[in-house]
Every structure is written in structure tokens, then in C-alpha cells.
Structure 1
Amino acid sequence: TKLFSESSISRILELVENAVSKKAETEKFITTFAKYYTPVVVFGALMIAVIPPLFITGQTYSDWIYRALVVLVISCPCALVISIPLGYFGGIGGASRKGILVKGSNYLDALTKVKTVVFDKTGTLTKGNFVVTQIVTANGYNEKDILRYAAYAESNSNHPIAKSIIDAYDTKIQQGEISGVKEISGKGIKARVNKDEITVGNDKLLHAENIQHDKCEVEGTVIHVAINSIYAGYIIISDTLKDSAQETITLLKKKDIGSVMLTGDNKNAAEIFAEKLGIDKYYYELLPEDKVKHIEEILQSTPKGNKVAFVGDGINDSPVLARADIGIAMGALGSDAAVETADVVLMTDSPLQVITAIDIAKKTRKIVWQNIGFAMGVKLFFILLGIFGIATMWEAVFGDMGVAIIAILNAMRVMK
């Protein structure tokens, strides 16, 4: 049990509230522009009021002061200063409605420049529901022995693969029979069950322990089992793709965005999933630190101005989420690490939300630039009319407040 202030919900609310503080480059530019634009406009209006009557015969101060006031009203930067931040705020709000939490408008802008999306496989592209599908025996051991020893060795692990083995064994485990449990990162686990030394893990672990075995490459996710350093056989575990995974990769290709898959699985398992999905590149047998190394290589090979996004389940991927240009955590409501580290948090497990996030970001940016173009164009037009005495104060009011209202209404479209 946690205090509400320490819960994931509290942190999510906090990141939404703080999102407006992380401004996009366009917002920063407009804020800086308005800071210099306003004094220039005031000085320009003063020049319009004073200079023409001094140098043009027959001109009166009252006429030019009126024109100067018209120009001053038209030139007010309200439409830009209000509608552009509102556009980004609307984009963040619109994304939130669809279960996508963006930590700032700078990340919305960055999403529009994504040219490569890197996916962690398990729990991101696949359901992470592992099931034992086959047990292959060796050296006189039977399937029941292999499954029992593997379940006992894995009984204290919270890894999804370990859970699938325990579920398949489906018998109460006597914890008093287990001792000397040693987890070997990225390879497997060793434990003593009664008087037997059990080794459970991948092919790398067998080679590290010098355990003789006849098969190194097995199709699928494989857990090898050795008893007292004698190879007993292996367990094949299958995972299934998420329903929307293939559609996500297809839509990324249509947007000319490359896809990369990182996985700790062996080459055969990784190749099968990559072919099913149509992934452009894939890297296999990776430890968490290897994933960071690969994301850094991808970042270095990406042309300047393009962005790389990493999509993970937020459990073991925090270092990679932090290293990528945009870290996207999926289905991470219960993961504090995801909320803290990721730049974008997807509140469902569908990879299609990555596409939705990119679409919202591009729509937001399009609307923001529409507002900039519309506001600047209308204001320049009416300023010229004001200088030549054609525009009246009513036109000036429309050029200011009317344009601001239209720009605000346009900005609100992104929330739909």
C-alpha cells in the first residue's frame, strides 16, 4: 500500500499538470518574438503619428494619430501569443483523451520528426502470455522431471517465462526443498533442489557452465534444463503477437518510418517474429545494457533533425527509454519507472497508440503553423490598410480580436 502522493495515478496527474512547462521550439520562438515585436510596433506607431505631419504638407496630426492607433490595435500579438500555446495544450489534452499522456509540447514536436521507432518485443509487440508448448527430453530424463526441476528453480522468479513454467507444472512447490538460488542476468538461474544442482536457462548459460548438449539453435523461445551438470532437455515456450502489432508496423511503413525490434530471444525466435511483422531490422540475445548500446548506435546513424523513438513496457526498459530521443512506455499504469522515465506514456497495451500519438502530434503542428500564417497574414494586410488610412478602428478590432478568436477556435480542433 502506498500513499496517494506516491502512487502512479498521482504521478500521472502531476506529469499532465507539468506538461505545459516543457515548451516546444515554436512556443519559445513566439514568446521571444512577442518580446521584441511589441516594442517595435509601439515605436513604429509613434513614428506613424509624428513623422508624416512634419514632412508632408497638408497632413494633420489628428488623422495620423488615428492611423497610428489603428495600426497599434491591429498589431497586438494576442492571436499568436494565445492561440499557439493553446494549440499545443489542445494537442496534449486531445492525446490524454485517447489514453496518451505527453509530458510536454516539446515531445509533441519531436514526435513529428520521428523516422525510426524501436520496439522492445516482449509485452510490447507480443502479449507476454508465455505458454509451454513442447518438452524435449535427453539423457534418459522424462518430461515430468524436466518440468518439475525447472518449476522449482524458477519458483521465486517474477519473469513471465518463469510463470509459464510454474503454470504448466500446476503442482504445489515445496519451498523447503529449494536452496542456493542464484540468478544469472541474461542467461538463466541456478538452484539446488534437495541434493540436485539444477541449471535452467538459455544456450549461453550451458556454454558458460560447460554443460554438453547436442542442440544450440532451437526454433522459438527455449529454456534448457541440466541436472547435476548433465543435460536433461529443453522446454519450448511460445508467445503470441498482439492483434494490432502487424497493423502498427504496416502503418509506420506507409508513413516512411523505419521499425527496429530489440529482444533477448535467440536468433530463430527473433527472426520468426520479425518476418511475421515485417520489421525492417532486429537484434537478438540482448541484455538490458546491450539494448542501450544498440539504441545509441541507431541514434548515431540517424540523420540530423530526425528523431528515434523507443517503445517498451516500462519494466526493464528504463535506461533505453531515457536514452532515446522520445521514450514511449506502454501499458505502464502500475510501473513507477515508466511514468518517471518515459516522455510519453500509453495507458493501454496497444502498439497502435504509437501511430495515434504521431498523428496527433502532426495535426497539432499543422494547426499551430496554420494559426501563425493566418494571424501574420491578416495582421500585415490590415496594417498596410491602416497606414494608408483605409482601415478604420472597427477593422482594427477585427484584425486583433477577430483573428485571435478564429485562431483559438482553430486551435481547439486538435482536441477532437
Structure 2
Amino acid sequence: MEKIIKNPSEDHVKPIKKSTKSNNDNKNMIKKEFSIEGLDCANCAAKIEDRLNKVKDVGHANVNFVTKTLTLEINNTSSAHNVISEATALIKKIEPDVTISEKTSSKNTKKEFSIEGLDCANCAAKIENKLNETNGISYANVNFVTKTLTIEIDKTSNISALVAKVTDIIKKLEPDVTITEIKEDIHVHNHTHGENTKKEIIRFGIGAAIFALAGLINFSDYIKLALYIISYVIVGYEVVLKSLKNIKRGEVFDENFLMSIATIGAFAIHQYPEAAAVMLFYQVGEILQGIAVNRSRKSITSLMDIRPDFANLKINGELKKVSPEKVSIGDIIVVKPGEKVPLDGKVIEGTSMIDTSALTGEAVPRKIEEGSSILSGVINKNGLLTIEVEKSFGQSTISKILNLVQNASNKKAPTENFITKFAKYYTPVVVFGALALAVIPPLVTGDSFSIWIYRALSFLVVSCPCALVVSIPLGFFGGIGGASKKGILVKGGNYLEALNNVDIVVFDKTGTLTRGVFKVTEIKPENNIKNDELLTYAAFAESYSNHPIATSILNAYGKEVSKNMVSDYEEISGYGIKVSLNGKKVLVGNSKLMTKENVAYNNVDTIGSVVHVAVENEYAGYIVISDKIKEDSKDAIKKLKSLGIKKTVMLTGDNKAVGNKVSQMLDLDEVHAELLPDQKVYEIERLFKEKSKKGKLVFVGDGINDAPVLARADIGIAMGGVGSDAAIEAADVVIMTDEPSKIASAIKIAKRTRSIVMQNIIFALAIKAVLLVLVAIGVGTMWEAVFGDVGVTLIAVLNSMRAMKSE
């Protein structure tokens, strides 16, 4: 076993801000998010994304079909308006019936207005330009088609005053218009969706009844044909209409076109009952598919249904129920038994048990009391808690977690990207294949054209790639949602898929494999200095540090430290601290600090962290601080090895004796100790050479001092980072508890998700391939072809929902 060393404590190392993993360093880049309501075609979503990524000044565009969200990264703030206008027009060209609205930024207030009587497009542009030049408005957009104005007001601005100013500006430019603020109603969409589904079912019922009437009663051929046509028009007119609109816009290869050509072609070759029946079958499949997709969306999002609805704000001794967004730092809130804690803060009164399962996945309640920190999203079980708010809602734990999970599916897995590209070429190839099937065989064999046209039409129906384009994003989204329910936050499908190929797992020690709870276990003074005196020097020197070792020394000292006695404070990264205490130069740190300052010291061999103290460059002694290994660390290493992880490594800043001892107890493959932060990165670089070509290297740290290594690893995992801004920023995966065993759980979830995704791919392609062959040789009919489209999609969507069950 190879063994080196690092510094007693990773210890007196200041947190390093993580450099972003994005390659886009353009300071003028802005990010905008839009909701695309009514986007029900996964293939169209892929087309929109592909086109938007080709728009000038778009750094990156992502369309999330699952959440119906568009994310746009615009390279230049000055061109944002033009880019958004072009993007909106492009989306409307591909999908005219969708509604596009920008999502409200957590930093700004969004307001929407209806502008009735606005009949001049040029005037609309003037209003928009004028508002965008107005101080306090970060963004303004006038939609001349819908006659609506959307503005974003800077957080620092006076909202009511600015709204009045907006009205005044519009009235000066267009005196005859009527301006009305649009009040948001969060229930409208769900109600509308339910009404639309009811209308579809009623329409389908009427069409099906007319179809049954034509088939069951012995009418004349003309009446039967009329009934089949009426049934077809009632059920399928929207499909044909969409197809015609798409052709007009140059968007040919989609499911509407395929179904229209297939069924109209069936009428043309006198297959009247089959033409109408196939459209009926297709529509019932679409209705069921829509219901299944919406239910899966709701099921996945309900896994993170932890957003608090209100806060009990205490004002002058009375409680007022308000939105969490309206509570400020320093305000006092009261949480009653059974309520969710709405904001992060400190308990100033009360004792209770809290349920943290929504955040951590742990069912065992935890005790909370006066002086305890408490996180938003947990549920107060029995006591009455009075809390002083320490973070605004936008910066609270719950807000960050919700934002992280909701945006996770924007980072697509390689499999998703492959399927999107595959669908782009697959459908046109099949369409031209169908054309060849309709023309070439009858010319070669002399058969009737109608036989081969029927087969070609059936061939077309099978070709729609919706089963793959819909179910695969749902599978990854379900896996991410299921993981979050277990206290594992995965920042994207790309990271979830990468967890399938982990070769090497590298651990930090303090706070990751060990508790990070230090206690002074030994005080050894030298040169006639007493125990209390040595501890006093160390406590005063550490009084400005937040590191666990500093905390343990201050706890052991147990008295109030008068910081005005400390001057010339200097924290030397990777070494320790240098201060002036009542005019005396005091050094507190590791052996490297003593060597650097030319102080002769005792070389101590112990399993604890050793903090050396020198006064006026004379050695004063040392203090030993010990940490404890977490209960499930050994089990975590065992589980990882059972999953096929090739190597487990620990990098620590602690001394060699501690590193070796921990490594032996946990059965790690390698340990490297006494490493400075940059040396950790060097070790990661060396370990990269040992992994396989497709293998991934994971680094697991506490998210405090490990940002450079978290950023450099293929996958960075932050341990116990539920309240750590640094962890959430730096890592790709955040384990919300302090349990290393959750790493193995994350890998299991990743493997299960990939298994479900691969099942969908193999199942969909296999069924389609078989049906294409059967249809081509005349064994399969249009009925089987429709099953190959909507039936397979429905089954794949239902299978994707299993990913939410995690393990």
C-alpha cells in the first residue's frame, strides 16, 4: 500500500471558490428560462432545440420536454431581446399552438400586463425600447400578437412606483390603450389541461359511436362511406390540420404528417373502415399516452413536493400568515406542530422532534432545541418552535434544492443526446423507405400498386420515434427524482449516467470518512509552560478561524476570547496561523509551519491531528486533536467494492500515522497524507492515468476545502452538503446526509435507471423493426402499425415511471 502524507489539518486552509465547469467565460452571457405550455410532441421539442442552437448569439439552448422548459444561454446581453424574439418566432413556426412565457427570476420581480387597443406593431416596438432603457427594469418585452407586456423589475427598485412609471410611459406613447395587470393564478393550467382532456374524450366518444354505427348496421355503401368520413373528421381533423400547417412551414417529418398520409392514403385505396379505425386507435393511444406522461410528470415532481406554502411571521406579538418570499433575514417566525419549516434559521425558543426525510431520506426524527440551526423543508413534529430567520427564501436550503432538482434534467445524458440525433435522421429515412416500398416492388413484380401502397402507408405509421424521444428523458428525470427522495441530489442526467462507469473513488478524510467532530485529547507543554497557558496561546491564535480544529481548541479552552488582544492575524494556507498576542509572536499549526519558521519541534507519532505551538520562535509544545470514523464508512467501502469499483483511495492533509490507521480500519486500497490542496489535484491527475478509457473517477469531499478537486474529478460528490453553499456550487452530486454509504446507493440508482432506459430503447427498436418487416412483406396491417407507434410509446412511458422507485 502506497503511503504519503499531508498537513495536520486540511486544516488551516481557506475555502477556495470553485471555478465553473462551463467553458463559457463570457461575462456578458445571460441565462433565461421559459415555460412552453402545450408542447406535447417530443420530436418537435428536439427540433426546436436543434434550431435554437443554430441561432446567432445563442451559447446553448436546451428544451426539456418533461418539464416543458426552455433554457437559453445568450452570449451577449445587448442582443438578448433580438435572440428571444427570434427564438419565440422559431418556436411558433414549429409549434404554433404553444404558449411561451419567461420564468420569474429569483432576483427580480416579474409583472405582466394586458395592453388593449394596441394596434400598431411599430408603436409596440417603441414602447418596448423605451421600457428597456428605463432604470429599474432589467428586461421588458411587448408581444404585439397577444397584446401583452412582460417586465422584470430589479430587486432594489420600488415596485409600485416603477409600475406607475411604466403606465405613464405607455400612455405618453399610446394614449388610447388600456393597461391592466395580469394576476397570476397557479390553478389555471391544471384546470385547462383537465378540460382539454375531457373535450378530447368526448370528441373521441362521438367519433367512435359513429364508426360503430357504420360497421354494425347494414347501410348502403355511400352512407357507410359518409359515416366513416364523418367519424374520421371528428376524431382526426386536428391531426390533418396540424400536418397541413407543418407542411406549409416546411416541417414535414412528424407524427401528424405520417398519420395523415397513412389514413388519407387508406381512403384513396378504398380501405375506408381501416382508415377511420386507425385514426381512432391512434387518437385513443395519444389520449392515454398524454395522461400517462402527465401523471409521470406529476409523480416525479411530487417526490420533491417540499416547498413550504406559508410562514407564520411574528409582528408585534401577533402571527401573520405570509408567503415565505416576503420574510426577511432577522425576522421571527413561528412553526407549529405538523408544519413545514419555511426558511433557514436558528431556534430561539422551543424544543421539538423534526422529520428530515424530505431533505435527507432518513425516517428517524431528530431532536431540535434552543440554539440549534434548522433548515427549511423539514417538518416540525410536536413542539412549538420560534425561529430567527438567517437566510432569505431565495438563498434558503429548500429553494436551492428545488432549483437544483428542477434544472437537473436540463443536463442531458449522452443517451438522450444520441436518441435526439437518431430521431432526426430516422424518420426521413423511413419515409423515403416507404416511398421506395410503394413504387419499386410493383414495378418489379407487376403486382397491383394498391397492395404495396397499403404496405407503404402502414410502414409510415410505424416510423414515428416518439416511444424513444418521450420515455428516455422521463427515465432519467425519474431516476433523478427517486435519488432526491433518498437524500441524493444529482445535478443532471449526464452525471447520473456517468455513475455507471466509476472505476476509482477518491475520498477526503475529515468530514467525509470521519465525523469531522474534533476533541482535544492531549496537551503537551514544553519549556516550563503550563497546560492552561499552552491552550490559551492556541485558543487566541485560532479565535478567527471557523475550521473544526479551531473550534475544538476553543471548546477545550471554554472561556471568552478577547480578540482585541490579537493583532497581525495571518492564516497561511496548508500550514497554520501566525499572530501577535500582546506583542508576542505566536505560531500555531503543523510541522511544516515549524520548519518554515525555523522552530525546533518534537516529531510526534500519534493517531490524532497534532497542532504545534511556538511563542517568540521558541517551541511551547503541542496539542493532539482526535476525530472519529463514521459508523457506516467501512460498510460504504465494502459496498463500493461489491459494485465492482476497482480502487478506493483516501487523500488527507492529516499526518501519516492518522492516515495509515484510518486506511487500515476501512480497508482502503491507497492513502496519501500530508497533502496541500494543490497536491490533492496532482494526485487526482495521477490517478486519472490508472482508470480505463470509459471509466470515471469520483472525488468525495465535504465541499468546504475541496472545491478544486471536486471540479477536476469526472464526478464530484459533496458529503453532508445540505447547508453548504460551497458544496452545492462545487459538486455534481450532493449527499444530503453524512453517510458515505449513499455513494453506493447513488451508483445503484444510476445502474437501475440505465437498465430501464436500455429496456425502452431495445423494446421500442425491436418492436418497430419486427413490425416494419412484417408490414413490408404483407403480414402486418395498419392496426399493428399503430400499436408500433402509440402502444409502444405508452408501454415505454409506464416503464420509465419505475425509475422513481430508485432501488
Q: Same fold by TM-score, threshold 0.5 exceeded?
A: yes
Q: Specify the SS of the correspondent of 1:156.
A: coil
Q: Specify the SS of the correspondent of 1:249.
A: helix
Partner residue in 2 for 1:409: 798
Partner residue in 2 for 1:186: 574
Alignment of 1:169-208 (within 5 A): 169-208=557-596
Which amino acid is 2:580 matched to?
A: R
Alignment of 1:244-283 (within 5 A): 244-257=632-645, 258-283=647-672
Which amino acid is 1:313 matched to?
A: D
Equivalent of 1:213, from 601, 622, 633? Answer: 601
Distance 1:300 1:336 in 2: 31
Q: Is the 8 A contact 1:8 1:339 kept in 2?
A: no
Q: Specify the SS of the correspondent of 1:125.
A: coil
Q: Specify the SS of the correspondent of 1:122.
A: coil
Shift of 1:157: 0.9
Equivalent of 2:764, from 365, 375, 390? Answer: 375
Q: Specify the SS of the correspondent of 2:689.
A: helix
Say yes or no: does 1:95 pair with 2:483.
Answer: yes
Say yes or no: does 1:10 pair with 2:399.
Answer: yes
Distance 1:56 1:301 in 2: 61
Shift of 1:370: 1.3
Shift of 1:119: 0.9
Partner residue in 2 for 1:133: 521
Alignment of 1:284-363 (within 5 A): 284-363=673-752
Say yes or no: does 1:73 pair with 2:461.
Answer: yes
Partner residue in 2 for 1:223: 611
Distance 2:730 2:572 in 1: 26
Q: Is the 8 A contact 1:154 1:189 kept in 2?
A: yes
**Alignment deviations for residues 170-193 of structure 1 (CA, whole Å, 9 cap, x no partner):** 112222322222222111112222
Distance 1:83 1:183 in 2: 53
Q: Specify the SS of the correspondent of 2:793.
A: helix
Distance 1:346 1:143 in 2: 40
Shift of 1:254: 1.4
**Alignment deviations for residues 3-33 of structure 1 (CA, whole Å, 9 cap, x no partner):** 5444554343333232222211111111111
Which amino acid is 1:94 matched to?
A: G
**Alignment deviations for residues 376-406 of structure 1 (CA, whole Å, 9 cap, x no partner):** 1111111111112211222222222221111
Q: Specify the SS of the correspondent of 2:512.
A: helix
Which amino acid is 1:325 matched to?
A: D
**Alignment deviations for residues 308-357 of structure 1 (CA, whole Å, 9 cap, x no partner):** 01111111111111111111112223322222221112222211111111
Distance 2:573 2:416 in 1: 45
Distance 1:312 1:79 in 2: 39
Distance 1:196 1:341 in 2: 39
Distance 2:430 2:648 in 1: 49
Which amino acid is 1:200 matched to?
A: V
Which amino acid is 2:701 matched to?
A: G
Distance 2:607 2:434 in 1: 77
Which amino acid is 1:151 matched to?
A: A
Q: Is the 8 A contact 1:9 1:333 kept in 2?
A: no
Shift of 1:141: 1.7
Q: Is the 8 A contact 2:502 2:696 kept in 1?
A: yes
Q: Is the 8 A contact 1:181 1:190 kept in 2?
A: yes
Bigger shift: 165-174 or 333-342?
Answer: 333-342
Which amino acid is 1:160 matched to?
A: P
Distance 2:580 2:494 in 1: 52
Cα 1:298–1:291 shift into 2, 3 Å: same
Say yes or no: does 1:236 pair with 2:624.
Answer: yes
**Alignment deviations for residues 206-237 of structure 1 (CA, whole Å, 9 cap, x no partner):** 11122222335444211111222222221111
Q: Specify the SS of the correspondent of 2:694.
A: coil
Distance 2:740 2:607 in 1: 25
Shift of 1:266: 0.7
Q: Specify the SS of the correspondent of 2:559.
A: coil
**Alignment deviations for residues 233-292 of structure 1 (CA, whole Å, 9 cap, x no partner):** 211111011111111111111122111111110111111111111111111111112111
Which amino acid is 2:729 matched to?
A: E
Percent identity, please.
Answer: 58
Q: Is the 8 A contact 2:503 2:692 kept in 1?
A: no
Shift of 1:67: 1.4
Say yes or no: does 1:166 pair with 2:554.
Answer: yes
Partner residue in 2 for 1:115: 503
Partner residue in 2 for 1:40: 429
Q: Is the 8 A contact 2:604 2:610 kept in 1?
A: no
5+ residue gaps, structure 2: 1-328, 330-390
Distance 1:162 1:340 in 2: 25
Distance 1:263 1:405 in 2: 51
Partner residue in 1 for 2:270: none
Normalised TM-score (structure 2): 0.50
Equivalent of 2:444, from 55, 80, 83? Answer: 55
Q: Specify the SS of the correspondent of 1:397.
A: helix
Q: Specify the SS of the correspondent of 1:337.
A: helix
Distance 2:606 2:741 in 1: 31
Q: Specify the SS of the correspondent of 1:168.
A: helix
Distance 2:561 2:728 in 1: 35
Which amino acid is 1:314 matched to?
A: G
**Alignment deviations for residues 54-93 of structure 1 (CA, whole Å, 9 cap, x no partner):** 2223x22222222112221122212111111221111111
Bigger shift: 33-42 or 406-415?
Answer: 406-415
Distance 1:216 1:269 in 2: 11
Distance 2:607 2:485 in 1: 42
Q: Specify the SS of the correspondent of 1:204.
A: helix
Bigger helix share: 1
Distance 1:261 1:398 in 2: 54
Distance 2:636 2:793 in 1: 38
Give the count of matched residue pairs: 415
Partner residue in 1 for 2:282: none
Bigger shift: 99-108 or 316-325?
Answer: 99-108
Which amino acid is 1:64 matched to?
A: W
Higher RCO (CA < 8 A, seq sep 6+): 1
Larger radius of gyration: 2
Distance 1:163 1:295 in 2: 30
Distance 1:213 1:391 in 2: 87
Shift of 1:125: 0.9
Distance 1:237 1:114 in 2: 34
Distance 1:240 1:332 in 2: 19
Say yes or no: does 1:155 pair with 2:566.
Answer: no
**Alignment deviations for residues 82-138 of structure 1 (CA, whole Å, 9 cap, x no partner):** 111221111111112212221211111111111101111111111110001111222
5+ residue gaps, structure 1: none
Q: Specify the SS of the correspondent of 1:124.
A: coil
Distance 2:571 2:780 in 1: 79
Q: Specify the SS of the correspondent of 1:211.
A: coil
Distance 2:437 2:603 in 1: 88
